[in-house]
Chains A and B, each alone.
Chain A
Amino acid sequence: MIVANRKPVSEIVDMIKDHERVLLLGCKGCVSVCSAGGEREVEILASLLKLGCQKEGKKIEVIEASFVRQCDKEYIDGLDDFDGKYDAIVSMACGVGVNFIANLRPMTRVYPAVNTSFMGGSAEQGVWSEQCAGCGNCVLHLTGGLCPVARCAKSLMNGPCGGSVGGVCEIDSDVTCIWQAIHDRLKRLDRMNDILAIAPIRDWRPAGHGGPRKVQRDDLTI
């Protein structure tokens, strides 16, 4: 899922200081699962915005709503139901949702309520960690399913580096050296041959270094 964190309330209060009617829009997708921007978080932020504005002596009306997703046109069309009722949208979706509203509503002011952080998962309640960098050229079949792009501080393709000590990365004692983990795992699975070949210099264009990326499926387009 896409993992996000709510911005500090004071930052959001400052964003909306020129508005009187705000549509606070949650997303029932990833940000709901990581408890950053779902229906429950909309309810909390709505209260905080009202309290924050009240404290500044400013009147604000906050309309609460949540869409199934904010990354599909068909769901953004749901904004039609609120036409004329707000003068700005505060989106609790990831950056994709904010962009989608901006793309599809040229005259609507839209603000982000969360910082979109990474693609990750939750192995224990309340903790999320990055697992995938969306690099566009997956090598997980060679690395035992563990990603060196997202989980190595240097995104090395041939590791580990000299900063790996006792299975831990030199940047932080809480960070596993993923290359040590890859070696250990492949050894356990008797698949060491998978990484014997030296990986060539990587072409990072599919990772976004060639500009914004796009996927087009001719079998699905009409």
Chain B
Amino acid sequence: MDFTPDIQVFCCHYTSQQACSEDSKVLPAEGFPASVSINRLPCTGKLEVSALLKAFENGADGVYVVGCPVDKCHNVMGSQRAAKKVLAVKKALEELNVEPERAEMFHLERGLHPEFIAVAKRMDEQISSLGPSPFKGEVL
């Protein structure tokens, strides 16, 4: 089956700023998958569980969060809080018998580093192998 996943990444201003400010051709040229859409936040600590769930409601096959390294968050605890929110989403997915690997958290250095591209590729592969979101099932 031909399947192109819809993946939503939530990045803080710091981890995504270069990626967003660079020429729009830079990311694809670096190999950033077209399946991943960037949602920019002031800080991932601001992220709510409901925002991640809404992404699934809106048709995402997978979501992930990129925040600052655990000990280097610009807002001290922001990325740690985000990691807890992602854990809550993973737990909720498990409760619904859905693969928790559809939600992930990454702590990356600021700016456009190879790791930013690498985790996007990893998520593209991971979600592609899981297939379409079970939440997209046909409603009777």
B41 to chain A, nearest CB (A): 17
Evaluate contact between A51 and B96: CB separation under 8 angstroms: yes
Contact of B96 among A9, A43, A44, A59 (CB under 8 A): A9
Residue of A nearest to B134 (CB): A55
- Is A10 among interface residues, defined by CB-CB distance under 8 A? yes
Evaluate contact between B97 and A10: CB separation under 8 angstroms: yes
Q: Which residues of A contact B49 (CB under 8 A)?
A: 44
Q: Name which of B10-18, B52-60, B66-74, B117-125 contacts chain A.
A: B52-60
Q: Which residues of A contact B54 (CB under 8 A)?
A: 47
Q: Which residues of A contact B57 (CB under 8 A)?
A: 47, 50-51
Evaluate contact between A59 and B139: CB separation under 8 angstroms: yes
B58 to chain A, nearest CB (A): 10
A40 to B51, CA, bound (A): 11
Proximity string of chain B (109-140) to chain A, C-beta cutoff 8 Å, 1 when within and 0 when not: 00000000000000000000000001111111
Q: Which residues of A contact B53 (CB under 8 A)?
A: 44, 47-48, 51
Evaluate contact between A57 and B135: CB separation under 8 angstroms: no
Evaluate contact between B50 and A47: CB separation under 8 angstroms: yes
Residue of A nearest to B96 (CB): A52
- Is A8 among interface residues, defined by CB-CB distance under 8 A? yes
Evaluate contact between A48 and B137: CB separation under 8 angstroms: no
- Is B30 among interface residues, defined by CB-CB distance under 8 A? no
Q: Which residues of A contact B23 (CB under 8 A)?
A: none
**Which range holds the interface residue count of chain A?**
10 to 19
Evaluate contact between B50 and A55: CB separation under 8 angstroms: no
A54 to B54, CA, bound (A): 13
Contact of A57 among B48, B56, B96, B138 (CB under 8 A): B138
Given contacts A50-B57, A57-B138, contact A44 B97 (CB under 8 A): no
- Is B34 among interface residues, defined by CB-CB distance under 8 A? no
Q: Which residues of B contact A47 (CB under 8 A)?
A: 50, 53-54, 56-57
- Is B2 among interface residues, defined by CB-CB distance under 8 A? no
- A17-62 interface with B by 8 A CB criterion: 40, 43-44, 47-48, 50-52, 54-59
A48 to B135, CA, bound (A): 10
Evaluate contact between A57 and B139: CB separation under 8 angstroms: yes
Q: Which residues of A contact B98 (CB under 8 A)?
A: 55
A26 to B131, CA, bound (A): 35
- Is B95 among interface residues, defined by CB-CB distance under 8 A? yes
A166 to chain B, nearest CB (A): 33
Residue of B nearest to A59 (CB): B139
- Is B92 among interface residues, defined by CB-CB distance under 8 A? yes
Q: Which residues of A contact B56 (CB under 8 A)?
A: 47, 51
Q: Which residues of B contact A8 (CB under 8 A)?
A: 95
Evaluate contact between A54 and B95: CB separation under 8 angstroms: no
Residue of B nearest to A48 (CB): B92
Residue of B nearest to A47 (CB): B53
Proximity string of chain A (89-123) to chain B, C-beta cutoff 8 Å, 1 when within and 0 when not: 00000000000000000000000000000000000
A35 to chain B, nearest CB (A): 11
Q: Which residues of A contact B48 (CB under 8 A)?
A: 40, 43
- Sample of 8 further A-B pairs with CB below 8 A, known A44-B50, A44-B92, A51-B53: A10-B96, A50-B57, A51-B56, A51-B57, A54-B135, A55-B137, A59-B139, A59-B140
9 residue pairs of the A-B complex, CB under 8 angstroms, read: A9-B92, A44-B49, A48-B96, A51-B53, A51-B56, A55-B97, A55-B134, A57-B137, A57-B138
